[in-house]
Structure 1
Amino acid sequence: MATSHSLHRPRIRSYTLDFYAKRDYVKRLVYASDETCIEQVRMNRTAFFKLCEMLESIGGLKSTRFMLVDEQVAMFLHIISHHLKNRVIKHYFRRSGETVSRAFHSVLNVVIRLEDVLFKRLEPITADSSDTRWKWFKNCLGALDGTHIKIRVPTVDKPRYRTRKGDIATNMLGVCTPEMQFVYILSGWEGSVTDGWVLRDAISRKHGLKVPHGCYYLVDAGYTNCEGFLAPFRGQRYHLNEWRQGYQPSSPQEFFNMKHASARNVIERCFGLLKLRWGILRSPSFYLRWGILRSPSFYPVRVHNRIIIACCLLHNFIRTHMSIDLIEAEVGERLPTNNVVDDDEPNITNIHPSDAWATWRMELANQMFDE
Structure 2
Amino acid sequence: MSNITAIRSIARVRPLLLLLFNFRSSSSTHQLHIFFSQADSPSCCGSSRFCCCFRVVLRAVLKLYKLVIKLLDESTPSEIRNNPRFYPYFKDCIGALDGTHIRASVPLSIQGRFRSRKGGTAQNVLAAITFDLKFSYVLAGWEGNAHDSRILSDALSRPRGLRIPEGKYYLTDTGYGIRNGYITPYRGVRYHLKEFSDQGPENAKELFNLRHSSLRITIERVFGILKKRFRVLDVEPFWNFQTQVDIVLACCIIHNHIMGVDPSDLLNQGLYEETESDLIMPTLTEREERQEARE
Please state which band the TM-score falls in when normalised by the shorter chain: 0.7 to 0.9
1:281-327 deviations in Å (ceiling 9; x for gaps) = 11xxxxxxxxxxxx411111111001100000000011111232232
- Residue 103 of structure 1 is matched in structure 2 by 53
Q: Does 1:68 align with 2:11?
A: yes
Please report how far the alpha carbon of residue 115 of structure 1 lies from its aligned counterpart in structure 2 after TM superposition.
Answer: 1.0
Structure 1 residues 132, 89: CA separation in 2 closer, same or farther (over 3 Å shift)? farther
TM-score by structure 2 length?
0.83
1:169-223 deviations in Å (ceiling 9; x for gaps) = 1110011001110010001110110111100100111000001221100001212
| Partner of residue 218 from structure 1, selected from 151, 161, 171 | 171
| Partner of residue 278 from structure 1, selected from 221, 230, 240 | 230
Indicate the SS of the match to 2:48. helix
Structure 1 residues 234, 317: CA separation in 2 closer, same or farther (over 3 Å shift)? same
Gaps of 5+ in 2: 40-45, 277-290
Kindly report which structure 2 residues correspond to 1:1-371, keeping only aligned pairs within 5 A, or say none: 68-94=11-37, 95=39, 98-124=48-74, 126=76, 129-132=81-84, 134-135=86-87, 136-245=89-198, 247-282=199-234, 295-322=235-262, 323-324=264-265, 325=268, 326-332=270-276, 370-371=294-295
1:220-239 deviations in Å (ceiling 9; x for gaps) = 12121332000000110000
TM-score by structure 1 length?
0.67
- Quick one: distance in 1 between partners of 2:133 and 2:75? 14
Q: RMSD between aligned alpha carbons? A: 2.4
- Quick one: distance in 1 between partners of 2:134 and 2:172? 16
Please report how far the alpha carbon of residue 139 of structure 1 lies from its aligned counterpart in structure 2 after TM superposition.
Answer: 1.3
Greater shift in the superposed pair: 267-276 or 98-107 = 98-107
Which has the larger Rg?
1
Which amino acid in structure 2 is aligned with residue 248 of structure 1? G
8 A contact 1:256–1:368 mirrored in 2: no
Greater shift in the superposed pair: 106-115 or 121-130 = 121-130
Indicate the SS of the match to 2:174. coil
8 A contact 1:111–1:310 mirrored in 2: yes
Structure 1 residues 97, 274: CA separation in 2 closer, same or farther (over 3 Å shift)? farther
Please report how far the alpha carbon of residue 125 of structure 1 lies from its aligned counterpart in structure 2 after TM superposition.
Answer: 5.2
Which amino acid in structure 1 is aligned with residue 103 of structure 2? K
Gaps of 5+ in 1: 1-15, 24-62, 283-294, 333-366
1:319-359 deviations in Å (ceiling 9; x for gaps) = 11123223233335xxxxxxxxxxxxxxxxxxxxxxxxxxx
8 A contact 2:74–2:165 mirrored in 1: no
8 A contact 2:69–2:253 mirrored in 1: yes
Identity of aligned residues (%): 35
